[in-house]
Structure 1
């Protein structure tokens, strides 16, 4: 019996030896803000890697009904952070971090295939400017004050480089996007006073890459491009993590 226990302990120790060691805690917190039609679980692979690298990571779960409420939820997450914050937004989450990122604890902004409105603009304002030669997001007409992506077109438009089983689930588990969030105009543009970084997804069929580049240039962001779908944080988490960590390393 003791021999069997010793053998099990040896196996457990050997398994632990091959697991990557968690890095020492960094003096920076990272707050992740999801976009429309999905929830915070899309950040899981990024969360795991950032946590392993020693960052405190807070993941915002926004209701995406109104921009005002989503900004308030994000501000509460910022307030909980132990350290200065790198604030990251994907898609519609870019509008949220633009509004909430004026908090003095926020030291830089990271936009991931995201909308970056100016004061008085909304996602609707930016999205209604079509880009010639690039498709618009396949949204169904509003129903009861909410939008969703056509489920039959979700995989190709949102996450073409994510496995089919995952995208099928995402298409049928969409978090409807409130018209109050789509049309919510920002009252402050944090990128005007914070260092900003923009990750362009060049195969994005939800937010046209040309529009992403235009917004990134307008906000004076440090720009990186990846050949990826709109769900770049799911399909290429290592690259997204490296980009977020580069924002942490930006001199201030």
Structure 2
């Protein structure tokens, strides 16, 4: 029987809609590629040792985990550090970023070795997007007022670090982390990503509901925009330390 015009039009529209599914939507629906490697990038006020608790759990699960030592100088130099580590991986790799390092995940996650992306309370701008302008559309988180500069070198004050960055950690532990925080250069904050890897790679996101460094509602917006598989953790900005089990499980899920 010949299809009538209305039915034909409806079928045509449905076919067009299926064809026009966004790449990130298709990526979100795809089953994770099995990966044995995980590369973890840190953000501001930190170094690679922030991932110690998570790395231990990933190793027990049989994964090869590597923490990048982000130079915190400029976005291109930081991205180059991540790319060098990705180049060394021997197959499918989950790329994980915390905080500022979400920008590095966006920028370098297009690497051929990267099979999935995980954002942990992280920035996730679109390509060329002004993240600072996006963040200003939400209430300013308290930690921002605690950033102090010595010339072009920035760090977080001890009071802000303990209260607004690592607020759910025991004070003695937080003080140790404060003592080893790595300063960042002002130039780092002026960079804009040229890629948005979440548009083409499956993505996962861990929102920190008690975050005082990135607004939790901004985290939710970025996670929803990328179509990420999202969990919410009742944690400070340092969920990777205060809730390593939940963060490790999310990474393991992304690793298939």
TM over 0.5: yes
Q: Which aligned pairs between 1:191-230 and structure 2 lie closer than 5 A?
A: 191-230=198-237
Q: Which aligned pairs between 1:4-153 and structure 2 lie closer than 5 A?
A: 27-131=35-139, 135=142, 137-153=144-160
Q: d(CA) in 2 for partners of 1:189 and 1:163?
A: 36
Q: 1:141 offset after TM fit, Å?
A: 4.4
Q: d(CA) in 2 for partners of 1:131 and 1:152?
A: 20
Please state whether the residue corresponding to 2:191 is helix, strand or coil: coil
- On the 8 A contact 1:198/1:224 being kept in 2, the answer is yes
Aligned pairs, how many? 223
CA RMSD of aligned residues (A): 1.6
Gaps of 5+ in 1: 1-25
Using a 3 Å threshold, how does the CA distance of structure 1 residues 169 and 127 change in structure 2: closer, same or farther?
farther
Gaps of 5+ in 2: 1-33
Q: 1:82 offset after TM fit, Å?
A: 1.7
Q: 1:81 offset after TM fit, Å?
A: 1.0
Q: 1:110 offset after TM fit, Å?
A: 0.2
Q: d(CA) in 1 for partners of 2:131 and 2:162?
A: 22
- Residue by residue over 1:196-246, the C-alpha shift from the partner in whole angstroms, topping out at 9 and shown as x without a partner, is 111000011000101100111111111110101100010111111001111
Runs of 4+ in 1 over 6 A off after TM superposition: none
Name 1:169's counterpart in structure 2: 176
- On the 8 A contact 1:65/1:178 being kept in 2, the answer is yes
Using a 3 Å threshold, how does the CA distance of structure 1 residues 177 and 122 change in structure 2: closer, same or farther?
farther
- On the 8 A contact 1:122/1:182 being kept in 2, the answer is no
Q: d(CA) in 1 for partners of 2:168 and 2:143?
A: 18
Q: 1:47 offset after TM fit, Å?
A: 0.5
Q: 1:123 offset after TM fit, Å?
A: 4.2
Q: d(CA) in 2 for partners of 1:142 and 1:61?
A: 22
- On the 8 A contact 1:123/1:182 being kept in 2, the answer is no
Task: Give the structure-1-normalised TM-score.
Answer: 0.84
Q: d(CA) in 1 for partners of 2:119 and 2:242?
A: 16
- On the 8 A contact 1:65/1:181 being kept in 2, the answer is yes
Please state whether the residue corresponding to 1:229 is helix, strand or coil: coil
Name 2:250's counterpart in structure 1: 243
Please state whether the residue corresponding to 1:152 is helix, strand or coil: helix
Q: d(CA) in 2 for partners of 1:129 and 1:67?
A: 23
Q: 1:52 offset after TM fit, Å?
A: 1.0
Q: d(CA) in 2 for partners of 1:31 and 1:148?
A: 25
Q: 1:83 offset after TM fit, Å?
A: 2.0
Q: d(CA) in 2 for partners of 1:129 and 1:143?
A: 28
